[in-house]
Amino acid sequence: MQVALREIGNCIIRRCDLSDLISTMEINLKTLPEHYSDYFYESLLAELPEAFLVAEVDGKLVGYIMCKIEYGFSNFKKLGFVKKGHVVSVAVLPEHRRKGIGEGLVQESIAGVKMKKCDELYLEVRCSNTEAVKLYEKLGFVIKQRLKAYYRDGEDAYLMAVEFAY
Ligand code: ACO
Ligand code: ZN
């Protein structure tokens, strides 16, 4: 049982438990074309539970966010080598959108990667995904690159990133 990190109306945001992974995978299947193996979900949860979060309404999961940590070149500092959080996937079920749940998930995962002292947080998003791009921009992410044919169907991605000050 995990404590609530944040409440948004009747929705609570909390860390994911192992027993939440099936529902998380179901939300992913319903909402996004990019899917992952159950082993991948388990390893992200084991690696970075601080930023693998779920949104729950009336005992049912309605959204999730999962992240990992990487070491590599900065998206901000020329030639800088940094510790980066990477938002692998975030989604909210259609009937629960536009209530601040997506924003709450991303904000709490930012807090989670900051606990791990990451210098930056980045992600890829389809260039056509205006809602998601707007959400990330609202939270301080900026478009750093356009990645040509990033997705299997050939669509380009924006690489978006935010830098943290401690
Ligand atoms: N139109 C315009 N702006 C929007 C919209 C929309 N339909 N939806 C969200 N936004 C922006 C707005 O700036 C909004 O702030 P505002 O309400 O003050 O205007 C802000 O995002 C926050 O909105 P929330 O209500 O918190 O977002 P929501 O809970 O609806 O979740 C999400 C947004 C996660 C993108 C949702 O639309 C979704 O699940 N989409 C399908 C899955 C997806 O595309 N995930 C992201 C893929 S990229 C990745 O995973 C790294
Ligand atoms: Zn990615």
pLDDT, tens digit, 9 for 90 and up, residues 27-61: 999 999 999 999 999 999 999 999 999 999 999 99
Q: What pLDDT is recorded for position 79?
A: 87
The minimum-distance atom of ligand 1 relative to the CA of 105 is 26
Residue 59: Cβ within 10 Å count: 5
Return the beta strands (E) in the chain as ranges.
4-8, 11-15, 53-57, 60-73, 81-92, 120-126, 142-147, 157-163
Q: What pLDDT is recorded for position 22?
A: 98
Q: Note the pLDDT tens digit of each residue in 125-144.
A: 999 999 999 999 999 999 99
Can you tell me the mean pLDDT for 11-25? 98
Ligand 1 is surrounded, with C-beta below 6 A, by: 31-32, 87, 89-92, 97-103, 123, 125, 129, 131-132, 134-135, 138
CA of 98 to the centre of ligand 1 (A): 7
Q: Note the pLDDT tens digit of each residue in 61-117.
A: 999 999 999 999 999 998 899 999 999 999 999 999 999 999 999 999 999 999 999
User: Which residue in 97, 12, 107, 1 sits closest to 55, CA to CA?
Assistant: 12
CA of 44 to the centre of ligand 2 (A): 13
Classified as helix, coil or strand, 25 is helix
Give the number of the ligand closest to the Cα of residue 128: 1
157 within 8 A of 146, measured Cβ to Cβ: yes
Alpha-carbon span 58 to 60, nearest angstrom: 6
1 pLDDT tier (thresholds 50, 70, 90): confident
Alpha-carbon span 3 to 43, nearest angstrom: 22
User: Which residue in 83, 5, 7, 97 sits closest to 51, CA to CA?
Assistant: 5
The minimum-distance atom of ligand 1 relative to the CA of 126 is 48
CA of 46 to the centre of ligand 1 (A): 27
